[in-house]
Structure formats: C-alpha cells, structure tokens
Chains A and B, each alone.
Chain A
Amino acid sequence: MADIKGYDMPDELYYHEEHSWARVEGNRVTVGMDDMFQKEAGDIVFVDLPEEEDEVEQGEVCGKIQSRKWIGKLCAPVSGEIVEINEELEDETSLINQDPYGKGWILVIEGNDVENELANLMHGDSLIPFIDREIQRTEEERANA
C-alpha cells in the first residue's frame, strides 16, 4: 500500500490520469476511482453506470459520477467489453468513499489489448510526479488567486 502525499494509491494498481484505477488479472480488469478523486469529490451521490456487454475504448467516458452538485466522469482505463457491474453501488454509493479499492469497485472490463494498453497508464513510481503535479497545480492556482 503506497501513501503518496496523503493519498492512498496501492502499488499493484494501474492509474488513468482521470483518476480511474485498474486491477489487472490476466485480461480481466477491475475498475474504480482512486483515493485522490474520492477525497476531492466528497460524498458520492449517484453513479451512472454503463450496461454489461457494452464495448469501451481506453480513455472513453463509460460512466458519470455525481458528488454534491458536480457531475464528473469515469474513464475506461483499458479497452474491452464490460462484463460486470457493481450493483451494490445502486444502493450504497458511499462504498466509493469508504473503500475505493475494495467494496467500492465500479465495473469489470474483459480487456482486448491489456498488455499494450497498460503502457499508457501510470504505475508504481511514475505515479509520484503525477500526484505532485496535481497538487502543485492546485497550490499555484491558490497562490495566484
């Protein structure tokens, strides 16, 4: 488990720059939203999920997430077919806040080019400069405001 600047970003996962994470088990990829997103977003009100059997491309918006009065997006970290949806989120969206990498998982994609597409995601040490940049951008804007 890695703590990067106060955000819990597990080492074994891959991350999309729009804050979705991917747990890779062969071609089966479990997807959720990372700790930085859930801390920034606050309490999740609703998750607008795609349908099972939908095809998605890497980076494509495949769901919407409402927190407070903001509606953000869930980007697919890999391409493939959506084979499973976390139905518990229908009644308990707070799972994303409470346990973003466990019970708060959102969907599973059966990837069709996982090995190649992982190169486009962040993993391990490459995550640190990304988190630094995200924090720095916020701080710079606050200083300039």
Chain B
Amino acid sequence: MYSWRLFKDTINPVSTALGLSIDDTLPLSLAQHGSPPILHLYIFKPSAIVGKYQDIEAALRLDRCRNSEIEYNRRSTGGGTVIMGPKVVALGLGIGINQPGLKKGIGGIFESLSAVLTKALRDLGVNAGFRPKNDLEVDGKKIAGLSAALETEKAILFHASLLVDFNIPLMLDIMNQPPLKLYDKGYNCFSQRITTITEQLGHDIEMERVVEAIENAFSQKFGASFEKDEPDTWEKKNIEDFITRRYTNHDWIFSHKHPRSKMGMGEFKTPGGLLEIYLSLAGNTIEHIIITGDFFSTTKDINLLESSLKWTSAKRDKIEEHLTEAWKEDMIYGVNVSTLTEAIEKAKENLVTI
C-alpha cells in the first residue's frame, strides 16, 4: 500500500478563488512536482460555480447572487452550474491518467471514479448508481455531479460535488432556469430531479462521516493509504498564481469563450396528455431539458429520458436516436419517441438567446 496525499477541511468553508486554485494545482503538482495523487475534500462558502465553457451571465442571475452574498466563479472543468455551500462536499482529485486501477479513456475515467463515489454513498446507506452522462443518482434523482479536465500531459483534475443537503429555493432564485410558468412548478420539477444524502437517510449526517466514507472508498479502490497534508511552498506559489490569473480575474470569470446560450419552452398535445418541454441549449448542444406535463409516467423514467439527451446534439435525428436508445415500452403512457421528439422540436422553435 502506498501513500496518497489528502488535503481535508470540512469545518472552514473556503472562497471559490482559494478552493478552485488549490484544485487546479493538484494535477500540476503530479505532472511537474513529483507528487503522488492528491485528494482534496472541502466545503465552499455559499457559491455558484459555472463550467469552464458556460456563459456565466446566461447561467446565473448575478444581481441575485450579489444581493444574497453568494459568490460566483468559473471552474476549469466542464459541465454545468453547481451550487455549493457548507452542506455540499467539494471534491478535487489530481490523478495520473496511467494510475493503476483507473480505466482508460474519457468514459473509463468517469466510470472508475464514479464507482468510488458510489461505493462511498452505499457505505453510508445510500443506494446510488452511475448515470451514464456523468452524474450519480438514486432512483433517477441526481445526488452528485462530476466533471473533469486534462490540463497537463499526464494528470487530470476530477471534480465532484456531493449533496449532503441542498437549498432548492436558493438555486431557483440565483440560476437562470428555463422559463417555468410557476415557481411551485419549478420547485416540484427540481425536487423530483435532485436528492441529498440527508433526504435518503431520513436524518442529518455529519460532514466528517461523509468525507471519511469517500476517503475509505478511494483507499480500497486504489490500494492506497492517505497522509493528511497541506500544500507545500511550490504548490502555494501556484495556488497564489491561479488566484491572481484566474479566480479573481474578471476576464476569466466573465470569459466570452463559450457557445451561445438559448432557452425555450414548447407544448405538444398527445393521446397520452399534454407534453411541456423546457429546454436550454449551449450552442447546438442540449445543456438542460425538463419533460413535464399531465401525462402518466414515473420520475425515474422521465429523468432517464432527460439524462439520455443532456450534453448531446440538439439535432432532430440525434434527439430521436438518443431517445430510441433509452426508450422502454410505456415509459410515458400514450407517448412514443416520435411524439416526444416533436414536442422537443416545438421547444426549439421558441428558443430565445439569453
């Protein structure tokens, strides 16, 4: 058994600038400084963090963030917006792409690291599983988000956020969502799509217990022991550099390197009832989709269909292809792939640039 380094603090929430700068230093330290893998487990001050190539002004209501003293920033890994805070475990991992036990390729890396987090959640009593579009879920509800970036030659930065508890009203207040008609509908939509460790267990749990479970799951998966550590002088210099160059730099936070964001809503009457589709696109990719209406289905099946479309092309033939792959008989009573595709096309017709 050999040692990995562990940077851990679940008592003192950190600023987005500090937390993200430490994370960016992790793969750099492996690639250029000879460090073994480093696991960083911590909590942020209340904050909203967008993906590297997201339009922050389209993703967030920045005035609401400022009024509510919610920090906002841009991370260096992909994916969408995450809302962080003292009850969300932030995980940064610097790991070599040739690390024994880590599967190869993009899909393999997500699969391996998801398996570790799934094990940690199961050890805590939460029956989580991997959702193939890079989220962890329980009965179709998202409980953790994952993202990654290959910034150096041989090491990646992997990010995860695990929801121990979550404030849906805050999320609805500070995020630009597709134009849901009613606040209550918005709340219901998201409460049916997101869950937390606390909700699953039915009682509160200490953050320390959650991070210990994560630590143990990594130890078992990679045959490593952890040595609690903190950044050394070389790493501190890089952290300061990232704080200056990226996370307190207006040009980084408000970067214009992103696809155009568009949102829209569409309705389509079917024999199974009315389908309402709320759609957010990043360029021609579906970033977010909500399928709702007055039809008969299950939360799990609807979330499965939505997941099959997230981060895929918004072209009609691709939508049809991905829905067909995910489709099972009577997923939505009285609706088939063709009518669901048509409803999504209606939402596309009504897209407006944010």
Which residues of A approach B to under 8 Å, CB–CB?
40-43, 45-46, 48, 64, 66-73, 91-94, 97, 134, 137-138, 141-142, 144-145
In the complex the two chains form, is B283's CB within 8 Å of A71's CB? no
CA distance A69 to B150 in the complex (A): 11
Instruction: Take A69-B148, A71-B78, A145-B101 as given contacts and tell me if A40 and B52 are in contact as well, using a CB distance cutoff of 8 Å.
Output: no
B146 within 8 Å of A (CB atoms): yes
Quick one: CB contact mask for B84-110 with A, threshold 8 Å, 1 for yes?
A: 000000000000000011111111111
B112 within 8 Å of A (CB atoms): yes
CA distance A49 to B102 in the complex (A): 29
In the complex the two chains form, is A42's CB within 8 Å of B312's CB? yes
B78 CB contacts on chain A under 8 angstroms: 45, 66-71
Instruction: Take A40-B105, A48-B257 as given contacts and tell me if A92 and B284 are in contact as well, using a CB distance cutoff of 8 Å.
Output: yes
Instruction: Take A46-B258, A94-B313, A97-B313 as given contacts and tell me if A68 and B104 are in contact as well, using a CB distance cutoff of 8 Å.
Output: no
Quick one: CB contact mask for B128-145 with A, threshold 8 Å, 1 for yes?
A: 000001100000000001
CB-CB nearest in chain B for A136: B104
In the complex the two chains form, is B77's CB within 8 Å of A91's CB? no
B149 within 8 Å of A (CB atoms): yes
In the complex the two chains form, is A48's CB within 8 Å of B53's CB? yes
Which residue of B103, B104, B315 contacts A94 across the interface (Cβ within 8 Å)? B315
In the complex the two chains form, is B52's CB within 8 Å of A73's CB? no
CB-CB nearest in chain A for B106: A70
For residue A76, give the distance in angstroms from its CB to the closest CB of chain B.
14
CA distance A70 to B150 in the complex (A): 8
A43 CB contacts on chain B under 8 angstroms: 285, 311-313, 318
Most chain A CB atoms below 10 A, which of B78, B110, B315 = B78
B147 within 8 Å of A (CB atoms): yes
A94 CB contacts on chain B under 8 angstroms: 284, 313, 315, 318
In the complex the two chains form, is A71's CB within 8 Å of B105's CB? no
16 CB-based A-B contacts, threshold 8 Å: A40-B105, A41-B106, A43-B311, A43-B318, A48-B257, A66-B78, A67-B78, A68-B134, A69-B145, A70-B109, A70-B149, A72-B150, A138-B104, A141-B101, A141-B104, A144-B101
B51 CB contacts on chain A under 8 angstroms: 66, 69
For residue B38, give the distance in angstroms from its CB to the closest CB of chain A.
19
Instruction: Identify whether the interface residues of B are mostly helix, strand, loop, or mixed.
Output: loop
Which residue of A40, A45, A73, A141 contacts B53 across the interface (Cβ within 8 Å)? A45
Instruction: Take A68-B134, A71-B78 as given contacts and tell me if A91 and B102 are in contact as well, using a CB distance cutoff of 8 Å.
Output: no
In the complex the two chains form, is A145's CB within 8 Å of B148's CB? no
CA distance A138 to B106 in the complex (A): 11
In the complex the two chains form, is A134's CB within 8 Å of B53's CB? no
Residues 138 to 185 of chain B near chain A (Cβ within 8 Å): 145-151
Instruction: Take A45-B259, A69-B311, A93-B285 as given contacts and tell me if A138 and B103 are in contact as well, using a CB distance cutoff of 8 Å.
Output: yes
CB-CB nearest in chain A for B133: A68
B239 CB contacts on chain A under 8 angstroms: none
In the complex the two chains form, is B52's CB within 8 Å of A66's CB? yes
Instruction: Take A93-B259, A93-B285, A94-B284 as given contacts and tell me if A68 and B150 are in contact as well, using a CB distance cutoff of 8 Å.
Output: no
CB-CB nearest in chain A for B156: A70
Lowest 9 A-B CB distances belong to which pairs? Answer: A69-B79, A71-B149, A69-B147, A68-B311, A46-B53, A69-B78, A138-B104, A141-B103, A45-B285
B282 within 8 Å of A (CB atoms): yes
CB-CB nearest in chain A for B107: A40
CA distance A141 to B51 in the complex (A): 29
For residue B23, give the distance in angstroms from its CB to the closest CB of chain A.
13
CA distance A85 to B141 in the complex (A): 41
